[in-house]
Amino acid sequence: MIVRNIIRGKPIQQILTVKSTDSVKSATEMLAKHRIGAVIVSDDGASVDGILSERDIVRALGTVGPSCLDQRVGDLMTLAVIGCHPEDSAISVMEQMTDGRFRHMPVIEANRMIGVISIGDVVKARIMEIQEENSALTGMIANTW
């Protein structure tokens, strides 16, 4: 399975972003409202300036305390964001996420963000792919008897 198929299968196609000047509190409210673990930081809505994840917020809460919610997203976001291409395989993306120990990845095509996938999206796609392969093999075995 490729990334393009994963993003097509997502129930919500909208790409949620925040600006680097937004407050961490407003970004946290967005995460809670949409039940997501990270949000892309993009001042123009198309390019990736960073990513703000639950982990970033928890780290700041642990070191700075609740006042971190009054900071700007740009103060807490992760700048080094690894993206993927729509034609990348689910397996290669899963390996990148596992090796890099991150759970969200923007999908970039022609220098524009066209989607965001999570490790959950990739695992779900892989499970479906394995189930389809299993069904096909079971059918082939049944037809040889």
pLDDT digits (tens, 9 = 90+) for 53-112: 999 999 999 999 999 999 999 999 999 999 999 999 999 999 999 999 999 999 999 988
What pLDDT, on a 0 to 100 scale, did the predictor assign at position 4? 94
Q: Which residues contact 112 (CB under 8 A, 6 or more apart)?
A: 46, 47
Q: Residue holding tokens 């596992």?
A: 98
What pLDDT, on a 0 to 100 scale, did the predictor assign at position 145? 63
pTM of the model: 0.83
State the Cα angle at 14 between 20 and 9, rounded to 5°.
Answer: 135
Q: Which residues contact 59 (CB under 8 A, 6 or more apart)?
A: 76
Q: Residue holding tokens 């994840």?
A: 53
